[in-house]
Amino acid sequence: MAQRTGTRHVNRSSKYGKGARAKQQRKNFRKERWENDMKELETLKKRYEDIDSASISKFTDFPLSKKTRDGLLEAGYDVPTEIQRETIGVSLKGHDVLGAAKTGSGKTLAFLLPVIECLYQNRWTAIDGLGALIISPTRELAYQTFEVLCKIGKHHDFSAGLIIGGKDLQEEADKIHRTNIIICTPGRLLQHMDETSYFDCCNLLML
C-alpha cells in the first residue's frame, strides 16, 4: 500500500514537472512572439514617412505587416490599382483621405488596408473593444466591405462583425461588445445604440 502511494506520488510530481515546463515554454514562445511583433511594428512605422506612391508597383512595396501581406497574397492581390497606390500610403501616414474612382477600381481594399494596419500598430486586442466603426449606406456595400475584410484580415486576431438589418438583433447584441471592427448600416447602428445597453464606442480609433 505504502509502495503504491509512493509510486503514485513520484508519477504525479513528474507530471507536474512536465506541465510546468510546458507552461514555461509557452510563456517563452509568447514573449518571443511579442518581441518580434514589437520589432516589426517599429520597423514598419519608420518606413511610413518614406512611402512614395510613384515608386509602388506591388503591395509588398508598402510597409505592411506580415499578417496583412499573407492575407493579400492568399486573396490573390499582388499589384495595387491606381486608387490603392495613391491613397494607401497617405492613410498609413495617418491623414484622412477623400478619394473618388470608378466602380470596381478597388476602393474597398484601399480603404480597409490602413484600418487593419492602424489597429495592428496600436496592438489592438479583443479586450480593447470597438476600434473601427465603418458605416455603409447600403447593406450590399456593407456586405462587400465585410467580405474583403475577412479575406485580407484573415491572419489577424481582430474580430469583425457585420451589423445590418434583417439579422437577429439579440444575436448581434450578444457579440457586439467583443467586436473590434464593426461594419454596419446606419439604421441598425442606431437601433443598437438605443437598445443594446453595453454597446460601447469609448475606445474608438477610426470612424
Ligand X SMILES: Nc1ncnc2c1ncn2[C@@H]1O[C@H](COP(=O)(O)OP(=O)(O)OP(=O)(O)O)[C@@H](O)[C@H]1O
Interaction site with ligand X (CB under 6 A): 77, 79-81, 84, 101, 103-109, 144
The residue (of 77 and 146) whose beta carbon lies closer to ligand X is 77
Min CB(109)–ligand X separation in Å: 5
Measured distance CA(52)–CA(62) in Å, rounded: 9
Min CB(79)–ligand X separation in Å: 6
Q: Which three cell numbers stand for residue 114?
A: 490602413
Min CB(13)–ligand X separation in Å: 57
Cβ distance 203 to 128 under 8 Å? yes
Measured distance CA(205)–CA(201) in Å, rounded: 9
Measured distance CA(141)–CA(103) in Å, rounded: 12
The residue (of 113 and 119) whose beta carbon lies closer to ligand X is 113
Min CB(62)–ligand X separation in Å: 12
Min CB(104)–ligand X separation in Å: 4
Measured distance CA(180)–CA(86) in Å, rounded: 27
The residue (of 112 and 163) whose beta carbon lies closer to ligand X is 112
Measured distance CA(106)–CA(110) in Å, rounded: 6
Cβ distance 178 to 172 under 8 Å? no
Which residue shows C-alpha cell 470596381? 104
Q: State the DSSP H helix or E strand holding residue 115, giving kind and residue range, or none if neither.
A: helix 107-121
Min CB(116)–ligand X separation in Å: 15
Determine the length of the chain. Answer: 207
Measured distance CA(32)–CA(87) in Å, rounded: 34
The residue (of 100 and 202) whose beta carbon lies closer to ligand X is 100
The residue (of 103 and 197) whose beta carbon lies closer to ligand X is 103
Most distant CA atoms of the chain, gap in Å: 83
